[in-house]
Amino acid sequence: MIENRIKENIENPEQLEKLYRADKKKFERAFFDIYTEISGFKLADFWDVRLGFDSPQENKLKVSRIDILFLIVTCAITGFLIKIPQIFNISLEEYLFYEKNAGLIVLLGLSSYSFLTNNFFRNKHLIISIGVFIISAIYINLLPSNNDSNSINLAYIHLPLFLWCVYGLIYINFDTKDKTKRIDYIKHNGDLAILSAIILIAGMILAGVTIGLFSAIDIEIEQFYMDYIAIWGIVSVPIVATYIIRNYPFITNRIAPIIANIFSPLVLITLIIYLISIPLAGKDPYNDRDFLLIFNLMLLGVMGIIVFSISETSINKKQKFNEMTLFMLTIVTLIIDLVALSAILYRLGEYGFTPNRTAVLGSNLLIFGNLILIMIDLYKVNFKSAGIKKVELTISKYLPIYMIWTIFVVIGFPLIFGLK
């Protein structure tokens, strides 16, 4: 991507000029998207002034009407799909509509908006994507509505993860050869999570104020608001956040690195205290199933923070404290993963294989392998003068393995374990 080429050549004036002359509009758009990341360089400041004369700030804030139309249409369709049980009087007790389709609908909305706003997609990519979503919808809805089946519940959980990978392919325009685009996708997801959380908090405040105001005049609108506004708004939040990231990138470019830099050391301190507190509290992941479940959920969360923090670390400027923090955080997370793995293996030996234990074992082994590679690369970054980009490339190369695992769980587990 041109953003990465600008970063890599930010101290090479001749190459920057070549990039600019090759495609002036694309260069200008990409430059302002990443300016907050490279603003400390003299050449970046020079280009900011140079491009600023031709593109005043107010012009950069203009958003096309077609983008707004695409946003409204996508949100409307996504909201309609999520309301299907109410529209067609489908019993949620007899048919697990949301367990099967909620993640699929949200990711369909995100993928649709990505296609609508992408001027360079190929028809075959659109056909492949539509085919994947249709097949996924048919498959997941043909599975029995059985909350007691662990293998089916795992399929419900892992299908959105698989479709998240499909959305990633759509986001990078199916360019699987350029590994840096995968990191751009991870960064996009971090930005999306942060902005979505902010919008949700604002939405909850608005809902509370609205319901409170109408209650004060003896008009009860709570049920109506939740059924027809809140649920529609919730599924639209990721799409609206994507719209903001796309059209106002300078907002998230300033927020996300700050969040990553603050959370990494805080999570490290919390994990160290947590590991020390486990034996003091008398908790045992080997015999306490619920504690082991929470342990694994925490592991997944920390792994996400590590990957997000690495993707938000500048590849141009050394940030020694952040890089050392990430290295230590990776080591502590590896210790947690080893404890979780030993507990899972112990329970497998004692109670045998089940869909849940097999899924947890597989995901922990994948995370363990990924963490080992990340730790090795972060060691080289901190002690061998390697660049943080090496870590990013390692993460990007590992992503297809997660995709293969999700496909195996969604399709293989119901077959292997007989819908148990």
Give the three-state DSSP class for 285: coil
Residues 271 and 388 in one domain: yes
Q: How many CA atoms lie within 13 A of 250 on its CB side?
A: 10
Residues 302 and 382 in one domain: yes
Which of 13, 29, 60 is where one domain is finished? Answer: 60
Question: 144 lies in a domain?
Answer: yes
Residues 346 and 372 in one domain: yes
Chain-centre distance for alpha carbon 313: 16
Q: Which pair of tokens denotes residue 393?
A: 């490339």
Residues 152 and 77 in one domain: yes
**pLDDT at residue 22 tops 80:** no
Better-scored residue on pLDDT, 75 or 18: 75
- Summary mean pLDDT of the chain: 83
- pLDDT for res 107: 95
**What does the DSSP assignment read for 115-173?**
HHT-TT--HHHHHHHHHHHHHHHHHHHHS---TT-HHHHHHHHHHHHHHHHHHHHHHTT
Residues 44 and 81 in one domain: no
Alpha-carbon span 176 to 169, nearest angstrom = 8
Residues 336 and 410 in one domain: yes
Question: 7 lies in a domain?
Answer: yes
Question: 235 lies in a domain?
Answer: no
Q: Please tell me the total count of domains within the chain.
A: 3
**pLDDT at residue 163 tops 90:** yes
The percent of residues in the chain predicted with pLDDT above 70, rounded, is: 91
- pLDDT for res 366: 92
- pLDDT digit string, tens, across residues 77-86: 999 999 999 8
Residues 409 and 261 in one domain: yes
Q: What ranges make up the beta strands (E) of 199-337? A: none
Question: 208 lies in a domain?
Answer: no
Question: Phi and psi at residue 378, in whole multiples of 5°?
Answer: -70, -30
Residues 56 and 170 in one domain: no
Which of 32-41, 100-109, 381-390 is most confident?
Answer: 100-109
Residues 40 and 94 in one domain: no
Residues 277 and 397 in one domain: yes
Containing structural domain, residue 321: 249-416
Better-scored residue on pLDDT, 57 or 133: 133
Residue 61: band (very low, low, confident or very high) from pLDDT cuts 50, 70, 90: very low
- pLDDT for res 241: 92
Which of 60, 75, 90 is where one domain is finished? Answer: 60
- pLDDT for res 210: 87
Question: 202 lies in a domain?
Answer: no
- pLDDT digit string, tens, across residues 213-271: 888 888 888 888 888 888 889 999 999 999 988 877 767 766 767 777 777 888 888 88
Better-scored residue on pLDDT, 66 or 258: 66
**pLDDT at residue 201 tops 80:** yes
**pLDDT at residue 99 tops 50:** yes
Residues 254 and 397 in one domain: yes
Alpha-carbon span 151 to 121, nearest angstrom = 36
- pLDDT digit string, tens, across residues 316-349: 455 777 888 888 988 988 888 888 888 888 888 8
**pLDDT at residue 58 tops 60:** no
**Among the listed ranges 185-194, 283-292, 321-330, 401-410, which one has the minimum average pLDDT value?**
283-292
**pLDDT at residue 33 tops 60:** yes
Question: 323 lies in a domain?
Answer: yes
Residues 73 and 178 in one domain: yes
Which of 174, 193, 212 is where one domain is finished? Answer: 193
- pLDDT for res 25: 72
pTM of the full predicted structure?
0.78
- pLDDT for res 159: 94
